[in-house]
Structure 1
Amino acid sequence: MKIPFVDLKLLHSEIKEELRDVFDRVLNESTFVLGPEVQRFEQEFAAYVGTTHCVAVNTGTAAIQLALAALGIGSGDEVITVPHTFIATAEAITAVGARPVFIDIDPVSFTMNPALLEAAISSKTRAIIPVHIYGQVADMDRILEISNLHGIPVVEDACQAHGAEYKGRKAGAFGIAGCFSFYPGKNLGACGEGGAVTTDDGDLAQRIRLWRDHGSSKRYEHIFPGLNMRMDGLQGGILSVKLKYLDRWNNQRRQAAAAYDKAFVDTDIEIPNEMDYGHHVYHLYVVQTSNRDALRHQLTDAGIESGLHYPIPLHLQEAYRFLGYKEGDFPVAERVKNRILSLPMYPGIRTQTIERVVSELRESCHVG
């Protein structure tokens, strides 16, 4: 029997009727773009994160791009982030005309290393984007201390961190803006694409609302040339349904992570570290091993799906060769790219499934 990397069929099976109700409601009311379903979700998600405002958009990439655009960031500006992330983080920066400036990640958390942040700040720096990678929040106290000292806004890339916490506060509630993706496989995923920006800044929220809808506050009246990055009504309704289950699903992910941790205790496989300041929600369960490729092939041969997040750091991607970075510039990100392996992780994953995954890996890894 094959083991999927993510099992969305299992996830949706228990809420199928609620999702059908959303479809019927949107179809009957013809509220296909924005509308009451999206407004309801915006209110609910803002309350969940602990911010005053939430602006729903069509993707997580759009969320970051519009947050930067609404901050007035553009050509000639620099935005500091990390190379160990999905390309969307940097794409959003270049989409507004700014230049990504990378700093290395912390070797324990894989999030932005605050000790390297201040040295990367220049007179052109207009924002800092820490990435809450794999479901764990970056060290926000240290990042915010530096950003406040220099008067530079922080935009959180929380696209993998729905419900994750730092010292009791949720991801997306720390910076001037928090950006989320609702891609189907995320902890809170739509049945299609979706994204959102959370913020306590009412003026910023309003500017993002204008940006997402052609720069328009009233039909056929446009304040500036914006973009079309609106959320579908159907996705808003679906996300409202799923939000009710998010904490339960995150707890199931944490239980699965604990089961993996226990099973790997006497092996040379390095398990992920939950930092003592936070609450990890394990969007991904990422281990490290020196013989990653061989172990991944073994899993594939056994019918077990796995993932690599991410095998090529952004500074070594062809797309960002123009930035002038080279091999050796970010040694931690470059070291982990050859060692990381993402194992099956989703709400409701069975203990027997985890045991089978671990059993296959233990056959080839060193057992102490």
Structure 2
Amino acid sequence: MIKFLDLHKLNKPFEAQFLSKTAAFLDKGWYILGDEVKQFEQSFATFSQSKHCIGVGNGLDALVLILKAYIELGKLKKGDEILVPANTYIASVLAILQADLLPVFVEPTIETYNIDPNLIEEKITSKTKAVLVVHLYGQLAEMDKINAICDSHNILIIEDAAQAHGLTFIGNHTRAFSFYPGKNLGALGDSGAITTNDDTLAEVLFSLRNYGSNKKYHNDFIGINSRLDELQAAFLNIKLPHLYTENETRKRIAKRYLSEIKNKKIELPICNNFNEHVFHLFVIRTENRDDLQEYLNSNGIETVIHYPIPPHKQKALQDYNHLNLPITEKIHDEVLSLPISSVLQEAEITHIIATLNSY
């Protein structure tokens, strides 16, 4: 069976370094916010071309903390509307709700699966204070258009870059990252980060992630406990120098898929610029998705559905179940993610392509 993502094989080359770092971690006896976290924050800030990186517990917390920091600074207030792509993973929406803000769903384009800039403006009201842009599957959203719209309406842009490690971003925005094990830069457990060039915002974020405190027992804000784990930071420090190679390998596989998969029943993703996609996922569409998935599985190919149920149809979001979002619903009914990572062998890629072509 060709696994969708073989994490054991992906992390195997780093195993000796992981063990060495773990031994050093145990010997040092400093378990929280130590040198490994500081090193990763510095390295990832440099890698992301940002002034500041704030390591946090996970990608959801990263988004929540950004929104709460903007509330503390008076740039947002409870009850403000935040535009968000309708077909994102539910975490993007949960963050808005957990910060006592209101999500407003905007349909994506069927070609890129990212938020449709042409639909943003018609959703803007006097209550709209930010757009949460998601670079879904690792592809840069149409930021030139989005920047122009948001600048003209004086509203914030926040970027959910949980699937977009290594993109060259456009604009001076604050971004949330997840290092969930399956990401292009994956830890061995939950972890996340925020990058920003805003000094004041960074100061508030460093405090909010640590009980609202920048000085022990002095609490300036109602914060939370969401600090990047020291051991996970150590693992990320080992893997970060290899991220560029991982992304380039994914692009190479994607180019094979795009040029060699030729089946009229299968819709391939659109990528006009490989500098604007890191292919966290390679997502195809077909009207008979479940049938295709079963067919691939019977031929030894594991696939995953990202995501079978759109946020506005989830039981947890019953207040939004009435919404009619046909493009989003079509996407969620038809998408199927193919294996893509640096541990795929050429013969496996060839088998995946041939099997799809014979469907």
User: What TM-score range do you get, normalising by the shorter chain?
Assistant: over 0.9
| Separation in 2, partners of 1:43, 1:90 | 29
| Separation in 2, partners of 1:123, 1:67 | 22
Distance 1:207 1:25, change over 3 A: same
| Separation in 1, partners of 2:269, 2:99 | 34
Distance 1:324 1:13, change over 3 A: closer
> How much does 1:277 deviate?
8.1
Q: Which runs of 5+ in 1 are unaligned?
A: 165-169
Partner of 1:259: 256
Please show how residues 3-18 of structure 1 align to structure 2 within 5 Å.
3-18=2-17
Partner of 2:213: 216
| Separation in 2, partners of 1:268, 1:299 | 14
Question: Which amino acid is 1:81 matched to?
Answer: V
Q: How many equivalent pairs are there?
A: 355
- Higher mean Cα deviation, 243-252 or 68-77? 68-77
Partner of 2:222: 225
| Separation in 1, partners of 2:122, 2:31 | 47
- Higher mean Cα deviation, 27-36 or 177-186? 27-36
* Cα deviation 1:48-79 (Å, max 9, x = unaligned): 11111110100000000000000004531111
SS of residue paired to 1:245:
helix
| Separation in 2, partners of 1:7, 1:149 | 45
* Cα deviation 1:279-317 (Å, max 9, x = unaligned): 211100101112211110112233321111122211222
| Separation in 1, partners of 2:199, 2:156 | 15
Give the helix-richer structure, 1 or 2: 2
| Separation in 1, partners of 2:263, 2:88 | 30
The question of 1:286 aligning with 2:289 is answered no
CA contact (8 A) 1:78 1:125 kept: yes
Partner of 1:335: 330
CA contact (8 A) 2:4 2:304 kept: yes
Question: What value does the CA root-mean-square deviation take over the aligned residues?
Answer: 1.5
SS of residue paired to 1:332:
helix
Q: 1:149 aligns with which of 149, 152, 157?
A: 152
SS of residue paired to 1:23:
helix
> How much does 1:362 deviate?
2.7
Question: Which amino acid is 2:184 matched to?
Answer: N
| Separation in 2, partners of 1:304, 1:93 | 36
Q: 1:347 aligns with which of 342, 349, 352?
A: 342
| Separation in 1, partners of 2:122, 2:134 | 18
The question of 1:102 aligning with 2:101 is answered no
- Higher mean Cα deviation, 30-39 or 186-195? 30-39
TM-score (norm 1): 0.93
CA contact (8 A) 2:263 2:357 kept: no
Question: Which amino acid is 2:260 matched to?
Answer: A
| Separation in 1, partners of 2:150, 2:317 | 25
> How much does 1:27 deviate?
1.3
CA contact (8 A) 2:313 2:320 kept: no
Q: 2:295 aligns with which of 298, 314, 329?
A: 298
The question of 1:138 aligning with 2:133 is answered no
| Separation in 1, partners of 2:101, 2:265 | 42
TM-score (norm 2): 0.95
- Higher mean Cα deviation, 60-69 or 221-230? 221-230
> How much does 1:267 deviate?
4.4
Question: Which amino acid is 1:307 matched to?
Answer: V
SS of residue paired to 1:178:
strand
The question of 1:189 aligning with 2:186 is answered yes
SS of residue paired to 2:156:
coil
SS of residue paired to 2:133:
coil
| Separation in 1, partners of 2:12, 2:286 | 35
| Separation in 2, partners of 1:104, 1:324 | 15
* Cα deviation 1:106-159 (Å, max 9, x = unaligned): 121110100111111122222211110001010111111111111111110000
Partner of 1:240: 237
CA contact (8 A) 2:82 2:129 kept: yes
> How much does 1:229 deviate?
0.5
SS of residue paired to 1:337:
helix
> How much does 1:263 deviate?
2.4
CA contact (8 A) 2:313 2:321 kept: no
| Separation in 2, partners of 1:353, 1:211 | 46
| Separation in 2, partners of 1:267, 1:281 | 25
CA contact (8 A) 2:57 2:191 kept: yes
Partner of 1:121: 124
> How much does 1:318 deviate?
1.8
> How much does 1:228 deviate?
0.3
CA contact (8 A) 1:84 1:333 kept: yes
CA contact (8 A) 2:85 2:133 kept: yes
Partner of 1:167: none
Partner of 2:95: 92
Distance 1:347 1:7, change over 3 A: same
Q: 1:312 aligns with which of 309, 313, 316?
A: 309
CA contact (8 A) 2:251 2:274 kept: no
